[in-house]
Amino acid sequence: MIGFGPHLMVDGYEANYETLASVEAITEFLDNLPKEIGMTKIMPPYVFKYDGGDKPEDWGVSGFVIIAESHISIHTFPEKQYFSIDIFSCKEFDMDKAVEIIKEYFGTDKLEIRTTNRGTEFPRDIGIAASITGAQRSRLV
């Protein structure tokens, strides 16, 4: 793998209101997902309800869980039947499996899915990175 790692971004529409509105459901989702996709949870999920501030219809539940490989976060907007999830990892993972779990858990097939690779110049192996950098620098002289 080149770079630091993959980042999966999922926006969900027409999702289950009760799931989106529940601190307990979001906590359960963040508690179980890491193991289901081969990640290592290193702390319990932190989940809270937001009242929407100046826009009461924007209330929802937000949370994250730190994994050894990076993090998973979620923001829900129950009144809009919408959620956004980010899964960022320093190791490859089965993105298709993660998407299927998300679809099933939130009761929707209406998803926008984006992926990217983060840190494309991240030195995964410091020895290899040093030799490449050294070779590049010697060509500049």
Asked if 47 and 27 count as a contact pair (C-beta separation under 8 A), the reply is: yes
- Report the 10 Å Cβ neighbour count for 83: 28
The reported pLDDT for the residue numbered 121 is 63
Which one from 70, 71, 89, 138 is the annotated catalytic residue? 70
Mark whether 62 is an active-site residue: no
Give the percent of the chain with pLDDT over 90.
Answer: 65
Total domains in the chain come to 1
Average pLDDT (17-23) is: 98
Which residue shows structure tokens 């998300």? 102
CATH number at residue 118: 3.60.90.10
Its domain, for residue 17, covers 5-140
Which one from 75, 84, 89, 138 is the annotated catalytic residue? 75
Mark whether 73 is an active-site residue: no
Closest CA to 101 of 23, 93, 75, 4: 93
Asked if 67 and 58 count as a contact pair (C-beta separation under 8 A), the reply is: no
Which one from 7, 90, 131, 138 is the annotated catalytic residue? 90
Predicted confidence (pLDDT) per residue in 62-108, tens digit: 999 999 889 999 999 999 999 999 999 888 889 999 999 999 999 99
Could you tell me which residue, 125 or 116, shows the higher pLDDT?
Answer: 116
Element (H, E) at 129: helix 126-140
